[in-house]
Amino acid sequence: MKRLALVLGAAAISSVASAAGIDSRSYTCGDLQSLIASRGFVFISQATFGDFVVANDYYCQGGNVLQTRSVATRDNAECPVNYCVSAEIGRRQN
């Protein structure tokens, strides 16, 4: 019984950690871009950036467009990543 409780507790903690996202500063820029490409999308959770980044426009919902933004990684203070914004915001910023 104790073993089952331990396994269930570890699984719950693991799920919470996954839901919290990743810290892009733990990756090199190339590794982060590879991770995004392999998963399709990743949630980056940092004080300066808390959003999903995506591999391409396939992951943007209708009415949204891709936009490039920079996040800090271990080797690059401005690693380019894609994220989705509403088409209206995308037009205003271009």
Structure confidence by residue, pLDDT tens digits, 76-91: 999 999 999 998 764 5
Q: Please indicate, yes or no, if residue 8 is contained in any of the structural domains.
A: no
Burial of 19 (0-12, 13-18, 19+ CB in 10 A): exposed
DSSP 3-state assignment of 74?
Answer: coil
- Structural domain boundaries enclosing 37: 22-93
Structure confidence by residue, pLDDT tens digits, 18-75: 457 999 999 999 999 999 999 999 999 987 888 999 999 999 998 899 999 999 999 9
Q: Please indicate, yes or no, if residue 14 is contained in any of the structural domains.
A: no
Q: Are 35 and 27 in contact (CB under 8 A)?
A: yes
Q: Please indicate, yes or no, if residue 64 is contained in any of the structural domains.
A: yes
Strands (E) across 1-94 are located at: 41-45, 50-54, 64-71, 79-86
Q: Please indicate, yes or no, if residue 5 is contained in any of the structural domains.
A: no
**29: number of Cβ within 10 Å:** 20
Q: Please indicate, yes or no, if residue 6 is contained in any of the structural domains.
A: no
Question: Does this model's pTM top 0.85?
Answer: no
**Domains in the chain, number:** 1
Q: Please indicate, yes or no, if residue 50 is contained in any of the structural domains.
A: yes
